[in-house]
């Protein structure tokens, strides 16, 4: 049973739909304190939050069994994604679930600000009838600059077209052709700031966008421009904006998000030229129900099918190709596990090549399974550092953190007679280890190349791998030693290298490896190396 802790408010009607699920157990503890969360978190495999709960490194340290953090919403800046990745925890969000809500709130703020609706409403409540004090502006024929043309930015642009505005857009990824199709003139950020009457922000919070609007960029704005921010706090430098409002450079601002929430400094929210709301962009009944159901569906999909939809720190695989790629995940992991048990030197570089059917599948997920196996510690080896939390989520990042260079490539020409193949070269400080494997059928994984040897060995269970001079009697000699230790041989695969007159013999065996077994086998003069492998 996959236990999920819900730390923030989700609609009860949505949670009720999952109470009878036979693979999920949901504990609704909305509003839980940080101390309580840290105390009970070890009991759970899944955690669902909105924006209230901060999942930082100290919280994650208590999530020894945590596999998934689900954000019921789009932004994940309240989650330490880097630390979650280091610990092998998938972080997934629900992009698009609140798109309509955030879009409509943006338009609502824009219109309310232009027409002075909040101030007029407050005046009426005081019994005043003061039409002249609330002379407004029309949105019609204004130039509106949309910064960030993702899902929300595009939807905002689509609705603004109906108001007869001129649309400028900035997005470093969007193509000019797509911008033209949605009626937006794509310009650089400087041009947008200089020409827009109204600037509306729709970018994620990341190093490149923090303080995007600051004292220097505000100098570029038209005198009397208007700013709307329904994206993320921290994109605007709040003190710089206050100074621009005070000077009249910026006429007004509509702000829904803040550097800290609730604000530690209320000067911006209480400024007379600011229309402020308490992060209401996604706060509609429809949006909350949608993102709650979406995140629970995604977690259930992961539990049932091992598919991580909308993962922000892991390359997810489409459900349609999951049955095709799953055997290659297994093959890749087993090749990595084999390497981890035969290597003795520090890994410097890995070259992974995919042939046939494997080459037509997403490469990085397969490579992440291979590296998760390759970086595993040997049995009894001292644990240390990031490898304690190793899995397919963080294996590529951890490998690169350790200075391991990883190269992935697709190959059209089969390496051997096997069409569908994963081949990998592990470069260490003292040489190269070459492995190649294939999938015969369901649950049949074969090692077909080991360094210069062509073989056909079952990649499962326990293996005794023996490199020896190519002379008679070796298989019998090893079989006798294994028999003395009550180890049964299931099958043997052999390969020969005529150039240096050596051979590789791989025994698939059953039984316990006794202490001294490796030394007993290698004591024979003609035997060069012995590895005892447990896959």
Q: Which residues are catalytic?
A: 232, 261, 279
Question: Rounded to an integer, what distance in angstroms lies between the CA atom of residue 494 and that of residue 482?
Answer: 17
What secondary structure does DSSP assign to 278-303, as a single string? Answer: SS-TT-SHHHHHHHHHHHHHHHHHHH
Q: What are the structure tokens assigned to 230, written together?
A: 């329904």
The DSSP letter of residue 357 is G
| Pairing of the two strands 502-510 and 68-71 | unpaired
Closest CA to 143 of 125, 123, 168, 120: 168
Question: Rounded to an integer, what distance in angstroms lies between the CA atom of residue 535 and that of residue 462?
Answer: 6
In b/e form, how buried is each residue of 264-301, taking b as 16+ CB within 10 angstroms?
A: eeeebbebebbbbbebebbebeebbebbbbbbbebbbb
Alpha-carbon separation of residue 165 from 184, 449, 455 (angstroms): 10, 65, 69
What secondary structure does DSSP assign to 245-262, as a single string? Answer: HHHTSEEEEEE---SSSS
What's the angle, vertex CA 147, arms to CA 143 and CA 150, rounded to 5? 120
- DSSP β-bridge partners for residue 201: 147, 229
Residue 530: phi, psi to the nearest 5?
A: -140, 135
To the nearest 10°, report the CA torsion of 34, 40, 45, 51. -20
Alpha-carbon separation of residue 428 from 336, 349, 432 (angstroms): 14, 7, 6
Question: Rounded to an integer, what distance in angstroms lies between the CA atom of residue 235 and that of residue 241?
Answer: 11
Residues in the chain: 535
Q: Which long-range contacts (CB under 8 A, 24 or more apart) does 496-501 make?
A: 496/453, 496/470, 497/452, 497/453, 497/470, 498/470, 499/452, 500/452, 501/469, 501/470
């Amino acid at each position: 049973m996959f236990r999920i802790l819900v730390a923030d408010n989700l609609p009860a009607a949505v949670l009720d739909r999952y109470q009878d699920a036979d693979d999920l157990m949901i504990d609704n503890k909305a509003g839980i304190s940080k101390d309580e969360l840290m105390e009970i978190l070890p009991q759970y495999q899944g955690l669902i939050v909105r924006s209230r709960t901060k999942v930082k490194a100290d919280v994650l340290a208590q999530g020894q069994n945590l596999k998934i953090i689900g954000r019921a919403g789009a932004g994940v800046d309240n989650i330490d994604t880097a630390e979650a990745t280091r610990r092998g925890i998938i972080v997934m969000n629900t992009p698009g679930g609140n798109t309509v809500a955030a879009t409509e709130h943006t338009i609502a703020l824009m219109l309310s600000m232009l027409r002075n609706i909040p101030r007029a409403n407050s005046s009426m409540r005081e019994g005043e009838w003061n039409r002249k004090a609330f002379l407004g502006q029309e949105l019609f024929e204004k130039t509106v600059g949309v910064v960030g043309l993702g899902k929300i930015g595009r939807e905002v642009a689509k609705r603004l077209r109906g108001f007869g505005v001129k649309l400028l857009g900035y997005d470093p990824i969007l193509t000019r052709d797509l911008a033209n199709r949605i009626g937006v003139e794509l310009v650089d950020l400087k041009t947008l700031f200089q020409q827009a009457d109204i600037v509306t922000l729709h970018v994620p919070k990341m190093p490149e966008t923090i303080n995007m609007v600051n004292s220097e960029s505000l100098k570029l704005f038209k005198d009397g421009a208007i700013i709307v921010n329904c994206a993320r706090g921290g994109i605007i430098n709040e003190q710089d904006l206050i100074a621009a409002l005070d000077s009249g450079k910026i006429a007004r601002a509509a702000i829904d998000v803040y550097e800290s929430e609730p604000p530690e400094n209320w000067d911006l929210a209480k400024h007379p030229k600011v229309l402020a709301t308490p992060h209401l962009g996604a706060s509609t009944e429809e949006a909350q129900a949608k993102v709650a159901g979406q995140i629970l569906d995604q977690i259930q999909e992961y539990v049932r099918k091992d598919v991580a939809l909308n993962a922000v720190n892991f390359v997810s695989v489409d459900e349609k190709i999951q049955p095709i790629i799953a055997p290659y995940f297994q093959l890749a992991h087993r090749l990595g596990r084999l390497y981890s048990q035969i290597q003795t030197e520090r890994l410097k570089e890995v070259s992974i090549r995919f042939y046939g059917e494997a080459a037509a599948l997403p490469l990085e997920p397969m490579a992440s399974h291979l590296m998760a196996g390759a970086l595993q510690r040997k049995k009894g080896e001292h644990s240390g550092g990031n490898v304690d939390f190793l899995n397919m989520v963080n294996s590529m990042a951890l490998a690169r953190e350790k200075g391991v260079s990883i190269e992935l490539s697709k190959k059209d020409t089969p390496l051997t007679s096997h069409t569908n193949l994963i081949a990998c070269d592990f470069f260490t400080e003292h040489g190269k280890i070459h492995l190649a494997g294939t999938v015969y059928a369901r649950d049949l994984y074969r090692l077909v190349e080991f360094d210069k040897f062509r073989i056909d060995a079952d990649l499962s269970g326990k293996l005794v791998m023996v490199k020896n001079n190519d002379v008679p009697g070796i298989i019998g000699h090893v079989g006798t030693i294994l028999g003395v230790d009550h180890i049964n041989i299931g099958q043997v695969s052999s390969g020969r290298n005529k150039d240096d007159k050596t051979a590789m013999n791989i025994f698939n065996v059953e039984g316990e490896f006794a202490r001294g077994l490796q030394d007993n086998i290698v004591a024979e003069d003609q035997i060069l190396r012995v590895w005892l492998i447990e896959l």
